[in-house]
Amino acid sequence: MALNQEFWYKRIKEEHNRGDLKIAPIGVLKQMDKKILWVGLASLAIIALTACLTILFSRSENFRGTAYSEPFPQASNFELTRSSGEVFRLSDQKGKVVLLFFGYTFCPDVCPATMAELNSALNQIPDKAASVQVVFVSVDPDRDTSQKVQEYVDQFNPAFIGLSGAQTDLEKIWNDYGIFREVVKNDSGLITVTHTARVILIDQAGNMRLSYAFGTPVEDIVHDLNLILK
């Protein structure tokens, strides 16, 4: 091993003396290091910029409603009898997007406003509206019959489905969907029902995907429907 080292040492020394061995000056080496550093920094900057642009231009693909966490919860199935006598089953709606809302026909503001907004949303996607089913479930069974609820939603869109039923049947549905409701009677005898006012979007596979608070802009709902119906 020592002989080999001595051999190569002598050979390098001879080549250096003849001028055959070129060693870059230290200053040149430093300049090369700087160039490599700048190339590396520039590459990192390009990668960062690309990532930012990707995020920026992909924002339009994000849902605007409040999203449920994955794995998405399966929408609880329920059955209620329609005004026609036909049994409505939520599970039969698979393949469609369901917009589920809980309200009552005597509602002075939130319920009619929500129904009008959902109708407006569907009018903005005429080629996809048939793939969306709006379902209105009563929170006031003492006053809302199935026929009354259907007549109520018909005023906004005859394709909407209005449902009511016995208190015991509805209570299970309210609980399954986390719906708060409270009947309030004032001194003059006027009855109002305080209730959760959110629209729940159930996708074609029966998963709860999004929800919308009262006052959500119609364009946000339209945006999400277009995405989920791609």
Residues 88/161, Cβ–Cβ less than 8 Å: yes
Q: Name which of 66-70, 128-132, 188-192, 201-205 the model is least confident about.
A: 188-192
Q: State the amino acid at position 153 in one-letter form.
A: V
Written as six digits, the tokens of 149 are 């609820």
Considering Cα of 79, then 196, then 177, then 66, what sign does the dihedral take?
A: positive
Residues 143/105, Cβ–Cβ less than 8 Å: yes
Coil, strand or helix at 29: helix
Element (H, E) at 162: strand 161-163
Please check the confidence at residue 193 and state whether its pLDDT lies above 60. Answer: yes
Q: What CATH number should be reported for the domain whose range is 66-228?
A: 3.40.30.10
13-to-4, 7, 26, 39, 194 alpha-carbon distances in Å: 14, 10, 19, 35, 96
Residues 210/70, Cβ–Cβ less than 8 Å: no
Rounded Cα distance between 188 and 52, Å, is 60
- Tens of pLDDT, residues 23-76: 545 554 456 555 655 555 655 555 555 444 444 444 446 999 999 999 999 999
Give the residue-averaged pLDDT of 186-192.
91
Rounded Cα distance between 158 and 149, Å, is 12
- Provide the pLDDT for residue 189: 87
DSSP-assigned letters across all residues of 65-88: SEEPPSSPPBPPP-EEE-TTSPEE
Residue with tokens 């917009």: 99
- Tens of pLDDT, residues 143-157: 999 999 999 999 999
Q: Strand locations in 9-149, DSSP E?
A: 66-67, 79-81, 87-89, 97-103, 132-138
Return phi, psi of residue 35, to 5°: -60, -45
Mean pLDDT of the chain: 86
Among residues 204, 203, 221, the alpha carbon closest in space to that of 212 is found at 221
Q: Would you kindly state where each structural domain of the chain is located, as residue ranges?
A: 2-59, 66-228
Rounded Cα distance between 181 and 69, Å, is 25
Report the Cα 64 to chain-centroid distance in Å: 6
